[in-house]
Amino acid sequence: DAKTTQPTSMDCAEGRAANLPCNHSTISGNEYVYWYRQIHSQGPQYIIHGLKNNETNEMASLIITEDRKSSTLILPHATLRDTAVYYCIVRVATGANNLFFGTGTRLTVIP
Amino acid sequence: DTGVSQDPRHKITKRGQNVTFRCDPISEHNRLYWYRQTLGQGPEFLTYFQNEAQLEKSRLLSDRFSAERPKGSFSTLEIQRTEQGDSAMYLCASSLGETGTRFFGPGTRLTVL
């Protein structure tokens, strides 16, 4: 699976949009981009995934660049409960049983 | 609550003792995964089951570790002769089929003294 690069930490003001970047310059055509988050002392939580097109669900939006070498997870109105470590993961569609989490981005939402 | 559950949530043991953790996945999920997470790191894959069959084991899963899923439902992870380096959070996840969308339990935090 392609490796990802994320900033170590970010801050965001409560109520503002949180934009979390991820670089995956070696991504292959059959690899998806997944985002998970892990709130302190809890297990990881799936957020969203995509292949080429932008995706949106009730939690977040995922913007993937046209060349697919980077993506941005957007939390439109960050709340204090969104404070967590956010993991960007690249995974092939089939045959991969591993999810390589890396160290993620620690997002702190500030009141 | 119909999510993934793990028991116990915390375990403190002395070096050399054996410990066993249990994971109950979401009931219709046929795949079950075990991960280990140390402080400041992301979860690392240990092993996974499809139904009752253990199909893959990471090199992290030393011979002191054994996992079972006897009836394709709950799973157990046993660590024999624990070492201080085994101190970590042990996470279980489940999924329906082969997918990157997995549901994680709250984890079992192991402390080896």
Question: pLDDT by residue (tens digit) across B60-79?
Answer: 889 999 999 998 899 999 99
Q: Show the tokens assigned to B43.
A: 């979860």
Q: pLDDT tens digits, residue range A80-108?
A: 999 999 999 998 766 657 788 889 999 99
Cα separation, B32 vs B45, whole angstroms: 11
* A37 contact B CB<8A: no
Mean of the pLDDT values across residues B46-50? Answer: 93
Point out the residue among A49, A98, A103 whose CB comes nearest to the CB of B41.
A103
| Chain B CB contacts of A98 below 8 Å | 45, 58
Instruction: Check CB contact under 8 Å for A97 and B107.
Output: no
The Cα–Cα gap between A109 and B14 comes to: 39
Distance from CA of A62 to the nearest CA of B (A): 15
Distance CA B66, CA B78 (A): 5
